[in-house]
Structure 1
Amino acid sequence: MEEQQVVEAVATYLVREREPHPRALAHVIGTAAGASGCALTVAGERYQWGDGSGPWLDHAITYDGEQQGVLAVTPESAGPLPGVAAVLGAPLAVIRLEAETDRLRREGDAAARELGDDRWRAAAEMEQERRGLERDLHDGAQHHLVALRTSLALVEHSLANGGTREQVTDLLERLDTAERVLVDTAAGVLPVDLVNNGLAAALTAELSSHDDVVLDIGELRRRYPAVVESAVYFTCLEAVNNAHKHARGARITVRVRDSYRGLEFAVLDTGPGFDVTTARSGLRNLSTRAADVGGTVEVHSGPGRGTEISGFVPL
């Protein structure tokens, strides 16, 4: 078929279709030219009609001095089609702009989703840090404040009965310790003994001054990752703190040991106990902290039989 007839077939298709598709356009050109295959390449995409066994004859399609795509026909005997390529300049320019606009829109949507994800992750990380600081203050500094409250009551009673100023001096030292813990926790600083010497040393430094606390850590000999030691340290302090608040005067035992499975710990008291089914909310911090490092916490208690808070972090 003469090229002019191919141009007319293309023009008819373009008039009929307000939104021409490159593959349909290749079909029109290939059929009108008597080719076995026809392909249009626009914006990096190849739209082919026919089997295209080759060889191919390529025609560059330009518009306004800029290449918009490539027209290819096979076999070569279908003849050169420079007139068809010229007619296709403006339509392919529109198709290329639409394709690039769609690509840019998809990339923009992806970038917006990624930005949203980044913001969500940043917000989640900030919330996690905030909750971590909240737990550290609750489990560490509050432990000292509860002890101070108890000491104040004892000093008040002692002074009313002719006590000495030595107790006031001891109380001031406890206040200094509580202030240091608050400042260090707010700054994200872990206890020096915990960082340098491990969990056993940190628990000894923190709890050995409490007459009502017995430390059973003779079977704790190795170090664990810092996040694990920190989690177990603060969990034990919080459990001791709960015992001081709810089981005053009770004997408290803190037991931590290595096992072939991981790190085991428990805090037991001889207090009045409680119904665990009605007090789960107050123990949420303990479970959350252990879960953050892949561990678990269990609470065993009952009215009149004391309380045992046990936990485990696997290797």
Structure 2
Amino acid sequence: MKREQVMASALAAAFTADDAAPQRLIQIVGETLRAQWCELTVATRRYEWSAPGRRIADRAHCSLSSDPEITIALAPASAMLTAQQWQPLLVLLEPLAFTEAAESAQRLRNDAVHRLDDARWHASVDMAQERRDLERHLHDGAQQHLVALQLAVAMADHQDGDSGGEQRRDSVRSKLDSAEQVLVATARGVLPHTLAAGGLNGALHSLTGPALSVRAELPRLMPAVESALYFIALEAVSNARKHAKGAQISIDARMRGGRVTVSIRDDGPGFIVDEDGIGGLSHLAHRLEAINGDVDVQSAPGEGTRVTASVRY
């Protein structure tokens, strides 16, 4: 009986006895073919067998399947069979290889999800630290200067009775009050109240104005995600109002296929997009990149502009 037939019979017996684990199969192959050494690769796993006390000579390799990967290596090379002669072994290993390939793919997906979660967490921590630093700088710097200016105006009230001067001082006081309110609100959290309280949905709907429509259907998201997408939308709307006055602007925000997407469109005159493809939004694009997001700007003269920001979630 030929050696491949003997091997096929031994493999069949192992399968019948429910003893067809890869390590057992490679042992059967090695002993049947009187090999010195044998290595079996099944998808992402490797199994090795060697005969006791034998020196490993030259080796030969044979690919039994490429998808999923199944390969066998033997020493000495003279013990190697043809791909056709390995069919009995392939029949036993293919189901295991498909299972292992699927499990390996799932492990990779899980690892990717964990890395994404870690990146988002670190981004949130970094942004929280930035907000605390900004709060301290505003309190210690700009806010104190505003208070000093208010005191200076108050002192001028007692030194100048000119009616025109009084009107100018009233205007300065009003501007100072407004500036201080903005700084205090910013120092308390950097994020607008509508975003902190109502999430991205509420913040987008608060962007009221002529020729602006908003459709947003999103759950509450991580603060870093909501903040990054909101400021992209805010910048896109601001640019449209500045460079495409009177144009119709629409915002569409939704979650689909594991991604949160915010799209801002206008029917303005359009423009030629820079080579980077983000139309001057690089400072905000970096914030999206930190949470595995991206921004894309599509525009051309006479065709309006579309800004799309997207984050996997």
Normalised TM-score (structure 2): 0.44
| CA radius of gyration, larger in | 1
